[in-house]
Amino acid sequence: MFMLQSLAVALFVCSHLFAGRLRFLDGLPRSRWLSFAGGISVAYVFLHIFPELEAAQANLADVWPVAGWLEHHAYLVALIGLTIFYALERMIRRAGASAGVSGQNEPGSPAGKGVFWLHIVSFALYNGLIGYLLVHREEQDLRGLVFYAVAMTLHFLVNDYGLRRDHKVAYRRTGRWILAAAILAGWLLGLATQISMAAVGLLFALLAGGVILNVLKEELPQERQSRLLPFVLGVFGYAALLSL
């Protein structure tokens, strides 16, 4: 399993380091391949991670006794994860807009650097979580590993495209290397540590919220001119595979 995990990490890393060379992903309307990849990521969350959260409820109840109104706290954590990433994205967008209004949103300006580093640090933590959970998945079989690797590789492509669009040269020179290193660091940390199944459930809940937010923020804005049919094909095509 170590070798297979190593291959998955290599795919994750390459998705950041070399996605910029995939020129067919660029331009408007949005590439159908990006919409297709986003659909696959969402299908994985709803048909694989969420059912695992249901199973994790028992583990969580054993270590986190809560009041009745928090009995579905695994899903609450997923909601918190979505909210955290939404708040970060709003903060980054507002900072970028304020800097742009003042004429200081160039990559080399202090304001531009601040927005860039806030974005990169938040996604580095996110990537580290994905690398970490490659080791600590609840399904430790080949099928689960393959589905996770495919869904997260395509998710990284979607995120990489958005970051390249937002930060251009700064991302190509520095950001993509940091995000690739964060994946590797998360995986190595996962190999070196052990956590309870309850903790794994909570981390997957955070990941689920983050994936949903990061996909939808790329697909929904009107200026993206997203492709509905490829997104739907990605959702239901991967859903069919997950259901086999």
Per-residue pLDDT tens digits for 71-129: 556 778 888 889 988 888 887 777 666 655 444 445 554 446 778 888 899 999 999 99
Q: Give the domain range for residue 180.
A: 34-243
Q: Is the pLDDT of residue 69 over 70?
A: no
Q: Alpha carbon of 79 to those of 89, 158, 227, 232: distances in Å?
A: 15, 21, 26, 23
Stretch among 12-16, 72-76, 138-142, 218-222 having the lowest mean pLDDT: 218-222
Answer whether 131's CB lies under 8 Å from 9's CB. Answer: yes
Tally of domains within the chain = 1
∠66-208-231 over CA atoms, to 5°? 150
Residue 27 lies in a domain: no
Residue 24 lies in a domain: no
Instruction: Count the neighbouring beta carbons within 10 Å of the beta carbon of residue 83.
Output: 12
The reported pLDDT for the residue numbered 104 is 42
Residue 28 lies in a domain: no
Residue 228 lies in a domain: yes
Q: Amino acid letter at 20?
A: G
Higher pLDDT, 157 or 57: 157
- Exposed (0-12), middle (13-18) or buried (19+): which is 214, by Cβ within 10 Å? buried
Residues 103-140: b if buried by 16+ CB within 10 A, e if exposed = eebeeeeebbebbbbebbebbbebbbbbbbbbbbbbee
Mean model confidence pLDDT for the chain: 81
**Cα R_g (the chain), whole angstroms:** 18
Residue 20 lies in a domain: no
46-54 mean pLDDT: 80
The dihedrals phi and psi of 226, each to the nearest 5 degrees, come to -70, 160
Residue 8 lies in a domain: no
Residue that has been written with the tokens 């794994």 in this structure: 200
Pair of tokens at residue 98: 């304020």
DSSP 172: I
The reported pLDDT for the residue numbered 110 is 46
Instruction: Count the neighbouring beta carbons within 10 Å of the beta carbon of residue 193.
Output: 10
Higher pLDDT, 62 or 95: 95
Residue 26 lies in a domain: no
Stretch among 36-45, 72-81, 123-132, 210-219 having the lowest mean pLDDT: 72-81
- Is residue 129 classed as helix, strand or coil in its secondary structure? helix
- The full DSSP string for 39-57 is HHHHHHIIIIIHHHHHHHH
Provide the angle, in degrees to the nearest 10, between the axes of the packed helices 176-192 and 142-170.
150
Residue 206 lies in a domain: yes
19-42 mean pLDDT: 76
